[in-house]
Amino acid sequence: MERDSVKAFLGIVGRDLRLALRQRADALMVVLFFVLTGALFPFGLGPEPNLLARIAPGIIWVTALLAVLLSLERLFLADYEDGALELMALSPLPLSAIVLAKALAHWLTTGLPLMAAAPLIALLYNLDEAALPLTLATLALGTPSLTLIGAVGAALSLGARRGGALIPLLVLPLTIPVLIFGVGAIDAELAGLSTKPHLLLLGAILVLALPFAPIAAAAAIRQAVE
């Protein structure tokens, strides 16, 4: 029974990864949005190296957050519209485990590519090279939380008209702590202060989101598939 559950869990991750691979444009769009939005600010603010280096952590994090928000709609909507979500809700695997599997696949196809593209933005903004590993570490700790919190918003918006526009409104306020501690850690590194408290708090958010977000999202999906 246990092995069946693990197999079913991995089956969902594998299926969503395969779907993402066959519809590469979706994942690519998120990364392009991240890079293009990131490249936009210097045009608005003017080419001042000191200013750009100072705001780089904030730009990287805000654009990453917006890029994740942009991708949340595809987490459940397609499965909801073609009836796959109600079949998943009827499968022996607990629905919260299914949400977790889908969130994992979503992070692998958005959070991970964003991390890969982040050095490009860092270069564009002349961010101190020494701070790059830490920047990636904050993204590695923070973007999974964004996906998990976002999953709750995406599940709540199912069945609503113009649900896609609703998700950012639901999710944005809840993601502010992730943003604050993500940027705080990089700023602390640049100022030569300890980054540990920020990273610990980012980790705490992830530890809390891991069990609770799937349960909340599963409850919202049950409502949606009634």
- 170 binding another protein? (CB under 8 A): no
Among 47, 92, 133, 173, binds another protein (CB under 8 A): 92
- 158 binding another protein? (CB under 8 A): no
Q: Which residues contact 75 (CB under 8 A, 6 or more apart)?
A: 102, 103, 106, 150, 151, 154
State whether residue 185 is helix, strand or coil: helix
- 91 binding another protein? (CB under 8 A): yes
- 49 binding another protein? (CB under 8 A): no
State whether residue 201 is helix, strand or coil: helix
Helical ranges in 23-48 per DSSP H? 24-45
> Is residue 175 a contact partner of residue 162, using CB atoms and an 8 Å limit?
no
How far apart are CB 91 and another protein at their closest, in Å? 5
Among 83, 159, 197, 211, binds another protein (CB under 8 A): 83
Of 38-46, 53-61, 81-89, 180-188, the segment contacting another protein by CB under 8 A is 81-89
Of 61-69, 89-97, 118-126, 141-149, the segment contacting another protein by CB under 8 A is 89-97
Q: Which is nearer to another protein, 101 or 178 (CB)?
A: 101
Number of residues that bind another protein (CB under 8 A): 24
Structure tokens of 118?
A: 């982040």
- Cα–Cα distance, 76 to 91 (Å, whole number): 16
